[in-house]
Structure 1
Amino acid sequence: MIFDAVRNNKRVVQVFLALITLPFAFWGVDSYVRDSGAGTDLASVGDSKITMQQFDQAWRVQQDRLRQALGANFDAAAVNTPEARLAVLNALVDQRLLLLEASKGGLVASNDQLRDVISKIPALQEDGQFSMARYQAALAAQGMSQPQFEAQLRQDLTLQQLVAAVGDTAIVASGTSDEMLRIQSEERQVAELRFAPEQFAGQVKIDSAALEKYYEENKQRFEIPEQAKADYVVLSLEALMDKLTLSEVEVSAWYESHKDRYQTAEERRASHILILVDANLDEGKAKAKADGILKELQESPGKFAELAKQHSQDPGSAQKGGDLGFFGRGMMVKPFEEAVFKLQEGEISGVVRSEFGFHIIQLTGSKAGAQRALAEVRSELEDELKRQAASRQFAEAAEAFSNMVYEQPDSLQPVVEKFDLKIQHSGWLPRDSSPAALAALGELGNQKVLTALFSADSLKSKRNTEAIEVAPNVLLSARVAEYQAASSRPFVEVRGDIEAALKTQEAAALARQAGETKLSALQQGGTEAKADWGPLKIVSRLERQQLPVAALQAVFRADVQKLPTYVGTEVAGGTYVLYQISKVSQPAVVDEKRREALQREYSTILGQEDFAAYLAGLRSRYKIDINKSALDSKQR
């Protein structure tokens, strides 16, 4: 979204806005600080209400964010919990508190701020300059009007002022950051001595009784879930399209009767001078200023670019002499467009009023529409004709398909013959699958399909499933070909796996025991041949990839008052590792960029703490009521 360009411009502000900025209906700041008084409210903050409508919109936005982030793993039911709904409501409460405080303090984003931010959003620029055409297209793509977008943007900017006033004021003393950097960059010279389970495998003996006991106590590990293989058929619009052929007569006739659809639109290029109507310049004064500029242009038409740079208040085009580039119909606001398409090339309009203010327009270029030849459009034309015909066929076939698999439930052959389909065969399908596993099953990866397959009608009565829409214009019916009830793998089948697992487990225990014994001896002053230790290496907290996490933590928790010192820890795979720490030092040169990054990171942490304390203070100053029964009813 184009809001991201606004919200991501400062790291600290970005962190906080991620927590409390939720788009609602676009009523502006004023409406949030008044008592809305409509319908059943979910919460109140002082005299300000949070309505069902506002919550529903915030909830939809949150669901869309999760759906985009999780992709195929998104499960709407799993995230529809009381805790998740309360979290969204609390975010609304926090936002309302901030808006109330902003209103009380007279904070508001000015029109100039609004224009400045919009003009600098990269998605709305063309060749480094603000593009009105892109602005209009971006809003249309998001289903927003200009007043809606600017009302929400004004709210975001108002919140940013307040959030930045709290979050951006965290100060980290240089001494503190230097001490943190010293700790982070400290280097320790270590050598390691490894005790791997493989070294002790020959000492491990597992008797049959232990194997059987493990099997009985862990039978759930050896369960085979309920599963089935299916035969299925798919009726789809795309398959019907593939079977259609078109004659040259049909294609030519369609082209001739719809030639207007294959024309490139006429485009115009214009420059303009915009005088805004706002709090700084009322309509009368703005009109008088525009009239004065027009008069000057009528006397000296060649000065249009010069006067645009001097007077135009459109930040995207002023520095380009007012040039807006080429655009077609529907890309500009209506009064502006109507004026442009009436002009002759080089002609200058009168003063034109739009919702932005007053424009003076000069037409600087035009491109006539052109007819695309049949050869050029044949592919898209044939695709459209086939899709139209297939859509009609599919509408009729879908009903017949659904009826046949239901009325003749003992076989899929009737629909195969009638619709020229092919019976497909699945592998083993589990009754229950995660969203990721479902995605891997293709057309059968639909919970409705699996539920139908494992129903009593399918398993006991051996019936076809109903016709299930697994995608737009795609119907599927299946029947169970082979079924396997949930069961446990027999002991004789898994004995080898159990024995290998227990041997690994016991070998790891022996490795740990040997390592801890050696560590105890070293810590008590014992000696160890140098050849036993691995090569020396330098490690630090900043270079974490040098050691496993557990090992790095053990090395830097060690007391290094007296060297050498020894620590031990278990790492992945059951290996126990001893570390001999022989030297502690600081790097000769401190990376200044790293110092600055660490200071920024710590400032963000302190800013978060300050902001959390600020919100807690606001919550204590305002009366906040949560309608939990109404919130619970939303889930039901």
Structure 2
Amino acid sequence: MFDAIRNKSRILMGVLVVLIIPSFVLFGVDGYNNRAERGAVVAKIADFEITQQQWDARHQQEVDRIRASMPNLDPKMLGSDEARYASLERMVDERLVAVASEKQLLVTSDQRLANYLKQDPSIASLRGPDGKLDMDRYRQLAASQGMTPEMLEAQVRRDLSGKQVMSALQASAMASQLQSDLALQAFLQRREIQIQRFSPADFVSKVQPQDAELEQFYQSRSERFRSTESADVEFLVLDAATLAKNIHLPEQDIKSYYEQNIQRLSGQEQRRASHILINAPKDAPAAERDKARNKVEGLLASVRKEPKSFADLARKNSDDPGSARNGGDLEFFAKGAMVKAFEDAAFALKKGEISAVVESEFGFHIIQLTDIKAPMTPSLEVMRPQLEADLRQQQSKRQFAELAETFSNSVYEQADTLTPIAEKLRLQVQQVKGVSRIPSASIQGVLANPKILEALFSEESISKRRNTAAIELGNNTLVSARLISYKPSALRPFADVKDQVRTEFVLEQAMVLAKAEGQARLAEWQKQPDLARVGPALIVSRDQTQGQAQKLVDAVLRTDPSSMPSLVGVDFGAMGYALVRVNKVVPRELSSPQQKAQTLNQFQRLLVGAESAAYMAHLRAQFKVQILAPKPKPTALAAS
């Protein structure tokens, strides 16, 4: 809803980082909890509550939307607890804005709602040539979002009211060039540095472990050496795409469908016309309109007397500059391209005929129909592939709707096998070995879906080996699966993983030695700076890191300018240790006027985002927002 709150800046995000809330992540896992927990309250906003079930449903909608727009997305991207929590926070903020708009009496009138819907491109496209809304397609649009038209309009009304909560605040946030320059001077400060690195690879040869050390390492870090939980799985898929392949289409059905749709397949008739326009807006004074009408009637008399003079009269008299230079020619057009009065007149004429005076919102027209292009009708054989595909799709969807309940009931009623329902519906039971709880690159298709995996590896599925419930994956697809065999995670014997233990032990000890060497040199060089052996000088800043890790750049920029040159140590863990000599602050290059305007605009957006975030925090406190679901700890990847 509020793009300004979520907007990311490429360069200036750090300026107000203490004020700006993180962008909401759009990816998430399905995360269905146990049925007993579905009714639990996970958040409260004033007197309004969000339940586990609502959270699950909202999260699934987001996942489905992402999958539809990014079908090749790695399923692992949908497994983040942080992302799932973000969807809850998004729900909370949307509801919070709705509550605030109600309390502040920011109501969206029927007229404003109607105007908005009229201008919305997705709804405008549903209007026919006569300007009327196609209600069937409108209902389909609402249904595609899981709503009725009334629900859709109520949602739009809430959104419009909610926008009023933030619009005044966002419009009032102003930044000066001086503020922008001062912030950039601090944020994008440049510093000259020299680096000496201590890599673990340089210390590997110094680590000579004994078997006793390896066994102790193995015992102390046993979780690293456990086998992956896995299972052999069988599953059944009911989907419209598979049903479509098995549908036989009688030739008569194809011919009938062709004949029923021949008009749609043929396209529209097109007409070519020329016109003479005399401008006369409807709000013009009556005398001006009478003058225009008299002129056009005189021209009409002339062209009726001498039809061949039409083009010349159009060039000399028409107020439509686009067509006048071409003798009034408007090229070919179909229904819906012209205003209604003009269209009605043009499509009522025969080729070569000249109309009476036609009044439209632009003024007065004389129309001459110069050509008619009949729609081309493709043959049955040309259209056969499309017709068969359309018929199969229609019939497969109907079959899916008819069989979905049978499928869902059968996998539940005969919970210890998938064979009977497969035979009944003529489906194939498929098997895959070595499936793990976390989606892996080697497993494709439905078993890479987090929702299926969560159901398969639930406690009930593992202990009782029952079919999962029929799980809907969208696009007219239902899946049920069951475990054939299950291998829990277990500590692998030391003998089997000894080589892995040795590799990890040596790497860990090499990291320790690299860090120790770096810290020793840091202490030595701080006492005797002349002994420091560092690399060539380079200049770094937040926007020009020169390929250096962000951790190093941050450490450099935290160094007190008054104590330069100075040494700072940076621990990179598995990547080793680095000593950095920070020599001096380097003045920023002067920005061009165009760059200054661009950065001012970016700073303005950040300021708007910061003030919006601060106001949202105020609203959370005012309406006593409580998020009862525990906030997940950031993963190592997210933290970095």
Work out whether residues 233 and 484 of structure 2, in 8 Å CA contact, stay in contact via their aligned partners in 1. yes
Q: How far apart, in 1, do the equivalents of 2:156 and 2:279 lie? A: 19
Provide the rounded CA distance (Å) in 2 between the counterparts of 1:308 and 1:160: 46
> What SS is found at the alignment partner of 1:487?
coil
Q: 2: distance between equivalents of 1:387 and 1:402? A: 22
Q: Which residue of 2 aligns with 1:347?
A: 355
Q: Is the 8 A contact 2:270 2:332 kept in 1?
A: no
Shift of 1:323: 7.0
User: Is residue 428 from structure 1 mapped to residue 428 from structure 2 by the alignment?
Assistant: no
2:333 matched to 1:326?
yes
- CA distance in 2 between counterparts of 1:607 and 1:400 reads 54
Aligned-CA RMSD value: 6.4
Partner residue, 1:485: 488
2:235 and 2:482 in contact (8 A); partners too: yes
Q: Deviations over 1:201-246 (max 9, x none)?
A: 3444556666555555554444446432123344444334334555
Q: For 1:558 and 1:165, how far apart are their aligned partners in 2?
A: 38
Look up the match of 1:558.
Answer: 559
| Aligned 1:149-164 pairs, distance under 5 A | 162-163=168-169
Give the structure 1 partner of residue 39 of structure 2: none
Letter in 2 for 1:553: D
Q: In 2, Cα distance between the equivalents of 1:337 and 1:541? A: 61
In 1, Cα distance between the equivalents of 2:382 and 2:494?
A: 69
The aligned residue for residue 95 of structure 2 is 89
User: What are the residue-to-residue correspondences of 1:366-405 with 2, within 5 Å?
Assistant: 367-387=373-393
| Partner in structure 1 of residue 504 of structure 2 | 501
Deviation at 1:379, TM superposition (A): 1.1
Contact in 2 for aligned 1:197/1:511 (Cα 8 Å):
yes
For each residue in 1:346-399, what CA deviation from the matched residue of structure 2 results, as whole angstroms up to 9, or x when unmatched?
5356546xxxx7976666665433322212211112223444555666667667
Residue 232 of structure 1 corresponds to 235
Letter in 2 for 1:326: F
Classify the secondary structure of the residue corresponding to 2:231: strand
* 1:601 aligned onto 2:602: yes
- Measure, in 2, the Cα distance between the counterparts of 1:160 and 1:396: 48
1:328-359 Cα distance to aligned partner (Å, 9 max, x none): 36x8898886666445665356546xxxx797
Where does 1:118-267 land on structure 2 (aligned, <5 Å)? 162-163=168-169, 165-167=171-173, 169-173=174-178, 177-178=180-181, 182=185, 187-204=190-207, 206=209, 211=214, 215-216=218-219, 218-224=221-227, 226-244=229-247, 246=249, 251-252=254-255, 255-256=258-259, 259-267=262-270
Cross-structure match for 1:298: 297
Q: Please tell me whether the aligned partners of residues 185 and 586 of structure 1 are also in contact (alpha carbons under 8 angstroms).
A: no
The residue aligned with 2:535 is: 534
Q: Structure 1 residues 243 and 210 mapped into 2: Cα distance closer, same or farther (>3 Å)?
A: same
Query: 1:17-28 counterparts in 2 under 5 A?
Result: none
The answer (yes or no) to whether the contact 1:554–1:569 under 8 Å persists in 2 is yes
Conserved 8 A contact 1:291-1:351 = no
Measure the CA separation in 2 of the matches of 1:408 and 1:464. 8
**Cα distance in 2 between the residues matched to 1:389 and 1:542:** 57
* Matched-pair contact (CA < 8 Å) for 2:456–2:483: yes
What letter matches 1:538 in structure 2? I
Three-state SS of the structure 2 residue aligned to 1:506 is helix
Q: Is the 8 A contact 1:170 1:607 kept in 2?
A: no
**Residues 556 and 502 (structure 1), Cα distance of their counterparts in 2 relative to 1, 3 Å cut:** same
Q: How far apart are 1:549 and its partner, in Å?
A: 1.6
Q: Distance in 2 between matches of 1:569 and 1:221?
A: 27
Matches of 2:577 and 2:403, distance apart in 1: 67
Distance 1:241 1:85, change over 3 A: closer
Instruction: Give me the identity figure in percent.
Output: 27
- Go from structure 1 to structure 2 and tell me whether the alpha carbon gap of 1:193 and 1:135 turns closer, same or farther (over 3 Å shift): farther
C-alpha spacing 1:214/1:349, structure 2 compared with 1 (3 Å): farther
- 3-state SS in 2 of match to 1:300: helix
What residue identity is the alignment partner of 2:245?
D
TM-score (norm 1): 0.62
Aligned equivalents of 2:608 and 2:192: distance in 1? 36
Shift of 1:524: 1.5
SS in 1 for 2:235: strand
1:136 to partner: Cα distance = 8.2
Q: For residue 525 of structure 1, what is the amino acid of its counterpart?
A: Q
Q: Retained in 2: the 8 A contact 1:201–1:504? A: yes
Checking the alignment, whether the CA contact within 8 Å between 2:100 and 2:165 is kept in structure 1 is no
Relative distance call for 1:259 and 1:394 in structure 2 (3 A) is: same
Change (3 A) 1:136 1:437: farther
Question: How far does residue 442 in structure 1 lie from its aligned partner after superposition?
Answer: 1.6
- Residue by residue over 1:451-493, the C-alpha shift from the partner in whole angstroms, topping out at 9 and shown as x without a partner, is 6655788666666666655555445454433221343334444
Q: C-alpha deviations, 1:90-118, integer Å up to 9, x for none?
A: 32355568885999xxxx99x9xx99x97
Cα gap change, 1:458 to 1:376, in 2 (>3 Å): same
SS in structure 1 opposite 2:530? coil
CA apart distance, 1:181: 5.2
Q: Deviations over 1:493-521 (max 9, x none)?
A: 44443443343233222222221221222
Structure 1 gap segments, 5+ residues each: 20-41, 45-49, 126-130, 311-315
Match of 1:571 in 2: 572
Measure, in 2, the Cα distance between the counterparts of 1:565 and 1:625.
48
- Residue type of the partner of 1:171? S
Structure 2 CA distance for aligned equivalents of residues 562 and 181 of structure 1: 23
- Alpha-carbon offset, residue 180 of structure 1: 5.0
1:579-603 CA-partner distances (Å, limit 9, x unpaired): 2344554367655544444444344
Report the 3-state secondary structure (helix = DSSP H, G, I; strand = E; otherwise coil) of the residue aligned with 2:546: helix
The worse-fitting range, judged by mean Cα deviation, of 76-85 and 571-580 is 76-85
- Cα distance in structure 2, aligned partners of 1:392 and 1:228: 35
Matches of 2:459 and 2:559, distance apart in 1: 63
Alignment of structure 1 residues 457-476 onto 2, 5 Å = 470-476=473-479
Task: Report the AA paired with residue 558 of structure 2.
Answer: R
Contact 1:43-1:627 within 8 A present in 2 as well: yes
State the SS of the aligned residue for 1:190.
Answer: strand
Secondary structure at the residue paired with 2:578? Answer: strand
Contact persistence 2:229–2:487 (CA under 8 A): yes
Instruction: Return closer, same or farther for 1:294/1:440 CA change in 2, 3 Å cut-off.
Output: farther
**Do 1:227 and 1:485's aligned partners in 2 also have CA atoms closer than 8 Å?**
yes
After superposition, the Cα gap between the structure-2 partners of 1:419 and 1:359, relative to the gap in structure 1 and judged at 3 Å, is: farther
Whole-Å separation in 1 of the counterparts to 2:129 and 2:159 = 17
Find the residue that maps to 1:546 and give its secondary structure: coil
Deviating more after overlay: 534-543 vs 247-256: 247-256
